Structure 1
Amino acid sequence: MKQLIGKALLDSFRKLNPLVMMSNPVLFVVELGTVLILLMLLFPKYFGTEDQVGWNTVVFSVLLFTVLFANFAEALAEGRGKAQADTLRRAKRDTEAKRLKSDGSVQVISSGELRKGDRVLVETGDIIPGDGDIIDGLASIDESAITGESAPVIKRAGSDQTSVTGGTRVISDSIVVKITTNPGDSFLDRMIMLIEGAKRQKAPNEIALNTVLIVFTLIFLIVVVTLVPIAAYVGIELDISVLVVLLVCLIPTTIGGLLSAIGIAGMDRVTRFGVIAMSGKAVEAAGDVNTIILDKTGTITYGNRLAADFVPVAGVDQKELMEVAVLTSLFDDTPEGSSVMMLAQANHVVCDVKAYEGEIIPFTAEERMSGLNYKGVHYRKGAVSAISAYIRERGGMVPPDLEEKSARISLQGGTPLAVCKDSQVLGLIYLKDTVKPGIRERFEELRKMGIRTVMCTGDNPLTAATIAKEAGVDDFIAESKPEDKIRIVREEQAQGKMVAMTGDGTNDAPALAQADVGIAMNSGTTAAKEAANMVDLDSDPTKILQVISIGKQLLMTRGALTTFSIANDFSKYFAIIPAMLVEQVPEMQLLNIMNLQSPSSAVLSALLFNAIIIPLLIPLALRGVRYVPMNANQLLVRNLLIYGVGGIIFPFIGIKLIDMGLQLFW
C-alpha cells in the first residue's frame, strides 16, 4: 500500500502538465490561478505585491496542494488497477509441475512445459501449475490470488466445481488435474491482457456532469470579475490573490477533483469481482438497468440436474431401488452420477467401489443408458423410453405406473431416470435442475431497485413456470430460441428501458451487442466476448447482479459527492463574502453568521478547508457510498439529508475551527 501511495504521489506531479489538466476544466482553472500567484511571487514588482510575499506564499502553497490532492485521487484510483495486473503477474510465476506419465510415474517439469491434455499431481502446499479440471480427488484450494477472497473453496472430481486456475494453491489433500490450456492462454494471461486493454472512457452521465461543472465555473468566474467594480463602488480594493482564492473556493473543485477517481474506482471494483469492463460507460450503464435477461441454466439453476429423490414403482421397496441406483452410478463420474451416490449415502446406503469389479457400461447418446454388469446381473439406468425398450427386448414387463410417475416428475420441472435390474424396472431417479440458494432473495433485492427480471429457457412452458416460480423471477420465456433474446432486448429498449443480459455462445452475440450491458463468459466464444462490453473472467453468470449493484453504487457516489460539493460552495459563499465586506458595509453583518476574525482569515480559512476536504473524501470516492436497495425517491431524500444538509453544515464547522486555529498563529 505504501508503494502504491508513493507512486500515486509521483503521478500527481506528472499530471500537473497543462495538456493533461485541460481534460478537467475545473482543476485547470485552479492550476491557472496557482500559476498566476506563482508569477506574483516571482515578479512582485510587475504586480505591485512587494508587501504581500508572505500572504502569496501561503496562498500559492495551499492552491498547489489543492491541485496535487485532486490529482492524487485520480492517480491512486489508476494505481489500484495497475497494481492488480502486477499482482496477477506475480501469481503467474513459473512453478514446478508433477506431470503424470502413462506408466503412472511422476515427472517434475517446469509449468511452462505443460500442454493441453497433460495430467498433473497437485499435493498439499503445491501451486496449481496451470488451468485445468480435477479428474481425481478433492482438495481445499486458496484462490485469493485470483478472486481476493481469503476463504478457501472445496473442489472435487465429478462435481460442478472441478475447474481450477493456475497460480492458486492447494491447502489440503491432493488432486489430479487435467490441463486444459496451453502457455499464454491461461486465465491469468487473459485477465492481465484484458485489464491492460480496458479503456477508461467517460460515460455519458459523467460528460453531462462535467459540462454542468464547467457552466458553474463560468458563472462563478463572471461573479468574481463583476465583484471587482461592485467592491470599488463601495470603496473596497480587492487584491488579485483574494479574487483567485474566492474563485477557487466558489467553483466546484471538490467534485471536479474526485470525478475521474469515482469512475476509475467503479471500474476497479468491477475488476475485483473478476469482471473486466471495456469502458466506464458499461459500468455506469449497469447502474441504470431496468431489465435483466437471464439464461436459466448456469445462472438461475446450477445447470447440472442433480438427484433429488428415489421414486419406486408399485411393489418395490425404496431401499432396493436406492441400492441398484448406486450400483449403476458407481463408475459414473458425471455430476448426475455423483449426486445419486450422495443422495443414497444421505439415506444410509453406501457401496464400496472396490467390491464391484464388473463390466462398466458407459453412457452413449445412441443407447441413452449406462450401468454395470456384475456377477451375471445387468444393472441399468437411463431415459424412461430407453429403459422401457431395453426391458421389452429382454422379455420383461414395464410397470403400468412407470409412465404416470415419470409424467408427474416432468410436470414438476424434473427429469426422470428409470432404473432396472435385468428385466425388472425398480423405479425412477428424480433429477432436479436445482435453483441456486439465495437467488430468490437476490431477485427480491433487484425488485426493490425497480429492476425487472426475465428468465429465458429452452424448457417446455410447464417446466419453465415451475423454475420461474421457485426462483422468483418476474417473467419467463419458455422454448426460447436465440432470435427470441434479441427480440426481447429490442422490445424492452423500445419502451425506454436499459437492458442487461449474459451469454456465452455465438448465437448470444447479437443480443449481447444490442443490450446496454452485455456480460460475456470468458469460457464462451470469441464472438460473444467481442460483442459484449464486459467479460466475466471466471464465467459465473450470477455476477451480473453484483455488477448492477456496483454500477448503482458508482452513480450514487457521484451524485452524493456532487451534492456535497455544491452544498459546500453555498457555505463557503456565506463564509467569505460577508467577512470581506462587513468593515465597509456594516449591513453585511447580518450575513456574517460565522463571525470570522478578519477578511484575510476568512479567505485563508475557506481556502484551507477547500484543500483539506479533497483528501478527506478520497477514501469515500474510491470505496463508494454504501448502496442500499430502495426506490429513486427514497434515495434522493436520503442523499439530500446526508450529503446536502451535511454539505452545508460541515463547512461552517470546518472553516470556523480553522479560523480559530489561525488566531493562534496569525
Structure 2
Amino acid sequence: MYPEGGGREAHKREEIRQYHHSFLWSLVFTIPVFLTSMVFMYIPGINHALDTKVINMLTIGELIRWLLSTPVQFIIGHRFYSGSYKALRHGSPNMDVLIALGTNAAYFYSLYSVLRAAISPNFESTDFFETSSMLISFILLGKYLEVLAKGKTSEAIAKLMNLAPETAILLAFDECGNLSGESEIDSQLIQKNDVIKVIPGAKVACDGFVIWGQSHVNESMITGEARPVGKRKGDNVIGGTVNENGVLHVQATNVGSESALAQIVRLVESAQMAKAPVQKFADRISKYFVPFVIILSLSTWLVWFLAGKYDGYPKSWIPSSMDSFQLALQFGISVMVIACPCALGLATPTAVMVGTGVGASQGVLIKGGQALESAHKVNCIVFDKTGTLTTGKPIVVATRLLKNIVLREFYEYVAAAEANSEHPLAKAIVEHAKKFKEEEEYVAWAETRDFISITGQGVKAIIGNKELVVGNKSLMLDTGIQIPDQALDLLLEAEEMAQTGILVAMNREILGLIVISDPLKPAAKEVISILKSMNVRSIMVTGDNWGTAKAIAREIGIDTIVAEAKPEEKAEKVKELQMSGLTVAMVGDGINDSPALVSADVGMAIGAGTDVAIEAADIVLMKSNLEDVITAIDLSRKTFSRIRMNYIWALAYNIIGIPIAAGVLFPSTRFRLPPWVAGAAMAASSVSVVLWSLLLKNYRRPKSLDALQIRGIMIE
C-alpha cells in the first residue's frame, strides 16, 4: 500500500544485514590476528612455533597475520575505499577517508616490514597488521550498532504503515440498493465509493464516511487521542483506526496513496529526511575538519618521528616491540582515527528523526527539521479565534427580526445565500434553517444569482428579485446600507456576551439579526496560562467583530487582540511582530488563515481545519486540541536540547581525545592510545550520540497537560 516506505524499510533491513555480515566475517579473520600478536606470544610452546622462521627473518606468526589481515583490509574494508573515492570526487572528505588513510598506513608499513624481513637475513620486522584489521572490525561494529539504533528511530513510520489492515469486507448491492452479498478482498483493491463492512474489533480499511450503523472508533493510533470517538451515519472515519463495538458500513472516499494514513506516512518520512538548518553547522565543520585532522595526524607523526630521530626523548620510552618510527606512526594513526567527526554528523539527524517520530505518535505532525528548529525558538503565538480558540462548531442561539416577515421565510432567503459559503458561521445558519424543513425528505434552497463571498465579511446574492446581503457591520457599511440604532444595540449586546451578530439586509434594508455562539474550547484558558509560564506571549487575531473578540480574550486571558482582520491583515500582523524581533507561531484552521500560516516562522494548523490550512502549515495538530500547541513547542525544545548535548559531547570528545591520541600523556605516564583502541572509542562516540537521541522516545508531554486532560474527561 505504501511502496516508498516499504522500500525504505527493506533498504534499512538490508543495510543492517550487510553490516552484521561484514562484522562477523571481519571477526573470523581479526581474532586470530589479535591472538597471534597479543596473546599467543606469552604462551610457551605456541610462541616458539609462531617465531619459527619461514624465509630469512620472516616468521610464521607474521605470515599468518599478513594472510588473515589482507582480506579484512581489501575485501571486507572495500566499503571504506569506495566511500573515500566518492567523497574525494565530490570534494568533501569524510570519515571513510580517515579510516582508509589510517588502516592503509598501518597495513602497508607492515607489508613493507615483512617483505623486507623475507628478503633480508638481518632485518627483524615489527608489524601492525592487528592495528588495521582490529580498527576495521571495531568501526564495522560501531556502524552496525549505529544503523541498528538509527533503524529504531523510524519505528514511528513502521508502526504507521502496519496500521492498515490486509483485508476488508466488501459489500455488494443490487439495482434497488439492497444488500446482495459480501466478500473478503485485499484492502489495496478498495476503490473510491466502495462500501466496506467494519465489524467490532476490526480496523477500518480506508478513509470514508458511515452510511449505516453506529459505534465507537479508537483513533489514538492516528490522532494520539486516547478516548474512543462516537460514529454514526454521516460521520467520517480514518483508515487504520479500530472499530470497538457496533457494526459500520463505510463508503470509501480516499484510498491508497490519497488516504490520511498514507499522507501521514509520507509527511513523517519527508520530515525525517529533511535537514534542520542547524545541521549546516555540522556540515561546515566536517568539510574543514577532515583535512585539518589529516594535517594534524601527519604533524603528530612528524613531531614524534623527528623527536625520536634526534634524541628528543630517552630511548627507554620506546616499547621493546617497536622503534621510534613505528611509535610515531602509531600516534599519527590514532589521531586520524579518533578525530573522525561522524558523531558530529549524527548529532542532528538522529534527534530530528526521533523527535518527528515521537511527535507523530502524539498526534503532532512536524514537517521536518526546519519546523522543529523554528518551533523551539517561538516566543509569541498568534491565535485565530473561530475553530482554534473556540470549538469551530457555532450554533444559532437567537434571531431578532426588525421587519415584518415570517421567520421561516426569513431563513429561506438567508440559507439560500449562505448555502454557497464554506464559512463555519454560514454552515451554522444553514443547519439552523433546516429545522424549518424537517418534514421535507430532501432539503433544497431557492436558486441564487450573482453570488459573491467577501472573505472575513460575509456574502451577497440575488434570490428571485431580492438583493440579499448577509454579514458583519463592516460589510453593511462598505455596501452603503444604513444600520438602525436598534440593530446596533442588539449587536453590542451579543458582543458583550462573546457572541457574534450577523446582519441580514434585503434590498438595502436591515431585515434582522442572527446571533451565533461558538463555545470556547475547554482548555483554552489554561493553555494560555501555561504558555505565559513558558514565556510565550499570546495574541488573538480574528475576522470577528471587536466586541466578541474582546469578550473572548477577556475570558481566556489574552491581552493583545486584533479584530475584524482580513486574511492579508492577519499576515501583516505576523510580519509586524517578526519585525519587532519575535519568533512567531500562527495557529489557525481556515482558508483565511493560510497567508498568516505561511508568513509565520512556524505555522500550526488545527487538524480538523481545511486542507489549504494544513498544506500551508509547518506543524499539523491532528487532534485539533489546543494543548498540542504546548506539546509541539515543548517537544521541539526537548529535541534541540538533545541536539545541543550531542554537539557538546561530540566536540568535547574530540577536544579531549585528540591530545591523548597524539601522546600528550606519554612523556609523564607512558600512556598511549593504540589505533585499534582509538577506533573503538570513535565508534563508541557515534553510538552514544545515537543512543542519546533515542532517549527522546521516552518523551512525556508536560504534566500540566495531563491534568487538563483529566479535567476534560470529567467535563464530558
The one of 208, 220, 236 equivalent to 2:281 is 208
1:190 is aligned to 263
Deviation (angstroms), 1:254: 2.9
Are residue 453 (structure 1) and residue 529 (structure 2) matched? Answer: no
The 5 A counterparts of 1:589-604 are 599-600=671-672
- Letter matched to residue 576 of structure 2: E
Pairing 1:618–2:690 present: yes
- Contact 1:27 / 1:253 at 8 angstroms: preserved in 2? yes
Task: Sort the Cα spacing of 1:512 and 1:574 in 2 relative to 1 into closer, same or farther, 3 A.
Answer: same
Identity of aligned residues (%): 24
Distance 2:256 2:144 in 1: 43
Relative to structure 1, the CA distance from residue 53 to residue 441 in structure 2 (aligned partners, 3 Å threshold; closer, same or farther) is same
* Residue matched to 1:59: 135
Aligned residue in 2 for 1:142: 218
**How do residues 168-183 of structure 1 correspond to structure 2 at under 5 angstroms?**
168-175=241-248, 177=250, 179-181=252-254
Q: 1:98 to 1:38 in 2, by over 3 A?
A: farther
| C-alpha displacement of 1:471 | 3.1
Checking the alignment, whether the CA contact within 8 Å between 1:500 and 1:517 is kept in structure 2 is: yes
In the TM superposition, residue 193 of structure 1 has moved relative to its aligned partner by 4.5
Q: Say which SS state the counterpart of residue 581 (structure 2) adopts.
A: coil
AA in 2 matched with 1:243: G
Structure 1 distance, partners of 2:652, 2:113, is 39
Aligned match of 1:27: 95
- 1:635 corresponding residue in structure 2: none
Structure 2 CA distance for partners of 1:155 and 1:306, relative to 1, 3 Å:
farther
Q: Is contact 2:388–2:606 with CA below 8 Å preserved after alignment?
A: no
Structure 2 letter corresponding to 1:463: T
Aligned to 1:581: 666
What is the Cα deviation at residue 483 of structure 1?
1.0
Residues 141-166 of structure 1 deviation map (CA, whole Å, 9 limit, x = unaligned)? 233553567x451324499xx43112
Amino acid at match of 1:499: V
Letter matched to residue 484 of structure 1: E
Matched, 1:128 2:204: yes
CA distance in 1, matches of 2:115, 2:619: 55
Rounded Cα–Cα distance in structure 1 between residues aligned with 2:205 and 2:131: 63
Report the alpha carbon displacement of residue 482 of structure 1 after superposing the two structures with TM: 0.8
**2:389 pairs with 284, 300, 315, which one?**
300
Change (3 A) 1:114 1:207: closer
Report the residue type matching 1:612 in the other structure: A
Task: Please state whether the residue corresponding to 2:273 is helix, strand or coil.
Answer: coil
* Distance change (3 Å), C-alpha of 1:15 and 1:435: farther
The 5 Å alignment of 1:346-495 reads 359=439, 410-414=495-499, 432-473=517-558, 475-495=560-580
Q: Which of 15-24 and 196-205 deviates more?
A: 15-24
Aligned partner of 1:154: which letter?
Answer: V
TM-aligned CA deviation for residue 461 of structure 1:
1.9
Deviation at residue 59 of structure 1 after TM alignment: 3.3
Aligned counterparts of 2:527 and 2:254: Cα–Cα separation in 1: 34
Quote the offset at 1:63 in angstroms.
3.7
The aligned counterpart of 1:643 is: none
Q: Counterpart of 1:164?
A: 237
Q: 2:632 corresponds to which letter in structure 1? A: V
Deviations 1:177-206 (Å, cap 9, x if unpaired)?
Answer: 454446653223433444556672322221
CA displacement, residues 289-339 of structure 1 (integer Å, 9 cap, x when unaligned): 33322222232221124799x9xxxxxxxxxxxxxxxxxxxxxxxx99xx9
Partner Cα separation in structure 2 for residue 104 and residue 208 of structure 1: 65
Query: Is 1:554 aligned with 2:619?
Result: no
Structure 1 residue 520: deviation in Å?
5.0
Which residue matches 2:372? 283
Secondary structure of 1:500's counterpart equals: strand
Q: Does 1:18 align with 2:83?
A: yes
- Would you say the 8 A contact 1:73–1:258 is kept in 2? no
Q: What corresponds to 1:155 in structure 2?
A: 230
1:234-245 equivalences under 5 Å are 234-235=312-313, 237=324, 238-245=327-334
The CA deviation at 1:249 is 2.5
Question: 1:460 offset after TM fit, Å?
Answer: 2.0
Quote how far apart the aligned CAs of 1:11 are.
6.4
AA aligned to 2:95 is L
Q: Is the 8 A contact 1:133 1:163 kept in 2?
A: yes
Determine which structure has more spread, i.e. the larger CA radius of gyration. Answer: 2
C-alpha contact 2:379 2:584 (8 A) present in aligned 1: yes
What residue is the counterpart of 2:111 in the other structure?
Answer: 43
User: Which of 591, 603, 617 lines up with 1:518 in the alignment?
Assistant: 603
Q: Relative to structure 1, is the Cα distance of residues 277 and 190 closer, same or farther in structure 2, using a 3 angstrom cutoff?
A: same
Which position in structure 1 is the counterpart of 2:16? Answer: 9
One-letter identity of the residue aligned with 2:355: G
**Residue 557 to residue 505, structure 1, CA distance change in 2 (3 Å):** same
CA gap of 1:21–1:482, structure 2 versus 1, over 3 A, is same
- Following TM superposition, by how much is the alpha carbon of 1:8 offset from its aligned partner in structure 2, in angstroms? 5.0
Counterpart of 1:498 in structure 2: which amino acid? Answer: T
Distance 2:701 2:160 in 1: 30
Task: Tell me the amino acid that sits aligned with residue 130 of structure 2.
Answer: G
Q: What letter matches 1:437 in structure 2?
A: P
Q: Secondary structure at the match of 1:95?
A: strand
Letter matched to residue 36 of structure 1: N
SS at match of 1:204: coil
How far the C-alpha of 1:411 sits from its partner, in A, is: 1.5
Give, as a single letter, the amino acid of the residue that structure 2 aligns with 1:442: V
Per the alignment, residue 162 of structure 2 pairs with 87
Q: Please report the TM-score for the alignment, with normalisation by the length of structure 2.
A: 0.60
Residue 108 (structure 1) aligned to one of 179, 182, 190: 182
Aligned 8 A contact 1:191 1:537 in 2: no
- CA shift in 2, pair 1:431/1:486, >3 Å: closer
| One-letter amino acid of the structure 1 residue matched with residue 680 of structure 2 | L
Shift of 1:95: 0.4
TM-score scaled by length of structure 1: 0.64
Instruction: Name the SS for the 1:261 alignment partner.
Output: helix
How many residue pairs get aligned? The number is 524
SS of the equivalent of 2:200 reads coil
| One-letter identity of the residue aligned with 1:108 | E
Alignment correspondent of 2:355:
266
**1:662 counterpart residue number:** none
Matching residue of 2:335:
246
CA contact (8 A) 2:210 2:249 kept: yes
Spell out, residue by residue over 1:410-469, the C-alpha distance to the aligned partner (whole angstroms, 9 max, x if none).
41214699xxxxxxxxxxx99753333334443344334433222222222222223223
Structure 2, unaligned runs of 5 or more: 1-8, 23-77, 117-124, 318-323, 399-423, 429-437, 447-469, 471-486, 503-513, 703-716
1:289–1:499: 8 Å Cα contact kept in structure 2? yes
Structure 1's 490 and 528: CA in aligned 2 closer, same or farther, altered over 3 A? Answer: same
AA at the equivalent of 1:264: M
Is structure 2 residue 268 aligned with structure 1 residue 227? Answer: no
The whole-number CA distance in structure 1 between the counterparts of 2:604 and 2:556 is 21
Going from structure 1 to structure 2, the CA distance change for 1:40 and 1:76 (only over 3 Å counts) comes to farther
| CA displacement 1:322-367 (0-9 Å, x = unmatched) | xxxxxxxxxxxxx99xx9xxxxxxxxxxxxxxxxxx957999989x
Cα gap change, 1:139/1:113 in structure 2, threshold over 3 Å: closer, same or farther? same
Q: Which amino acid aligns with 2:388?
A: T
The aligned counterpart of 2:320 is none
- For residue 476 of structure 1, give the secondary structure of its aligned residue in structure 2: strand
Structure 1 position 560, deviation (Å): 0.9
Is 2:95–2:340's contact at 8 Å kept on the other side of the alignment?
no
CA distance in 2, matches of 1:46, 1:512: 69
| Deviation by residue 1:85-128 (Cα, 9 ceiling, x = unmatched) | 6425xx15340044677666464255678766676664423433
